[in-house]
Amino acid sequence: MESPLPVRNGVNATRLRLPESGPWATAMEYLLERFNHVDPQGIVDRFKRGEVRGLGGGIITPETPLGEHTFLWYYRELPVEQRLPVELSILHQDEHLVVVDKPHFLPTTPGGMYVAESALVRLRLLLDLPDLVPIHRLDRMTAGVLLFAANPRTRGQYQLLFERRQIRKSYQAVAAVRSDLALPLTTRSRIHKSRSYLLSQELPGEPNAETRISLIRSWATPQGEHGLYQLEPHTGKTHQLRVHLASLGIGILNDPFYPRLLEQAPDDYTKPLQLLAHRLEFVDPLSQRPVTFQSELHLGEAR
């Protein structure tokens, strides 16, 4: 469904599904009860300003009965965010695509405590492209090549490349080296990520995640032998690379989740997760020519 409200300050309006019936006479009464932990006057003011809209753009007023609309859209009141001390760089831009090097610690899209401080919102404001959307995503803690669609008319053709697994993805990671592990190898497992649990888990059953792992080079450290790995995921499960390396006993350096969940702590910008989306290769669906986008970033622990 297309939002009836335009992007504002780089952020999409929020969509909310309304109940068909209930003890509330109006849509506004429902919102006041559902969001009773926020400023009620702020909710009332949004309705009075005509900033709450239904599908098609109709204004939902304080008197609009519940049941008249199934969905409504509104602008969230955004908190003031401290700018993250990281910057993204643009690798490529044309009328259809924007390709960037996303730094560690910057989310791909708004979520949780990060809204303005996301790659999407930063780019929308920087490039004055309110229709910009990500074609895929990288974890907040992962750096590297990230693609955005700039043209609503052609974005679907690029999204299909990922859905059909027609993108070749290559990552780099720094992790410990096991002398008894024969590389390269392909590891497969069943990975499940529930909405109620922070971590992804490997479960019994038919594999749904596959990663090819190669060792590029290794070196000695006071903590033991470390190596720079090339990781080629055939699938895109949440935290797949981190889970697969941890399950082999070579968890990625500076990973606070795998193999052991560490206590929550403020970000340490001197110790980013040593995982980089290094390269993307595909045949451009518009030009039918092969293209490659490669990160200009480097993992700080690699030698």
pLDDT score, position 90: 98
Q: Please compute the mean of the pLDDT values over residues 125-144 and round it to a whole number.
A: 96
Average pLDDT for the chain = 95
Q: Is the pLDDT confidence value at 50 over 90?
A: yes
**Average pLDDT value for residue range 125-148:** 97
- In this prediction, residue 199 carries a pLDDT of 94
pLDDT at 131 over 90: yes
Peptide bond into 290 cis (omega under 30): no
**Once rounded to an integer, what is the mean pLDDT over residues 76-84?**
88
pLDDT at 17 over 90: yes
Q: What's the rounded mean pLDDT across residues 214-229?
A: 96
Report the pLDDT averaged over residues 48-67: 95
Domain 89-294 matching CATH 3.30.70.330: the answer reads no
What percentage of the chain reaches a pLDDT higher than 90?
91
The answer to whether residue 122 scores a pLDDT higher than 90 is yes
Across 136-154, average pLDDT: 97
Provide the pLDDT for residue 78: 82
At 160-208, the pLDDT tens digits run 999 999 999 999 999 999 999 999 999 999 999 998 888 999 999 999 9
pLDDT above 90: residue 112? no
Instruction: Kindly indicate the confidence band of residue 48, based on its pLDDT and cuts at 50, 70 and 90.
Output: very high
Note the pLDDT tens digit of each residue in 253-303: 999 999 999 998 999 999 999 999 999 999 999 999 999 999 999 999 999
| Dihedral sign (CA 285, 109, 129, 54) | positive
- pLDDT score of 37: 84
Mean pLDDT of 61-81: 92
**Binning pLDDT at 50, 70 and 90, where does residue 36 land?**
confident
Model confidence at 23, pLDDT cuts 50, 70, 90, reads very high
Domain boundaries of the chain, sorted by first residue: 14-74, 89-294
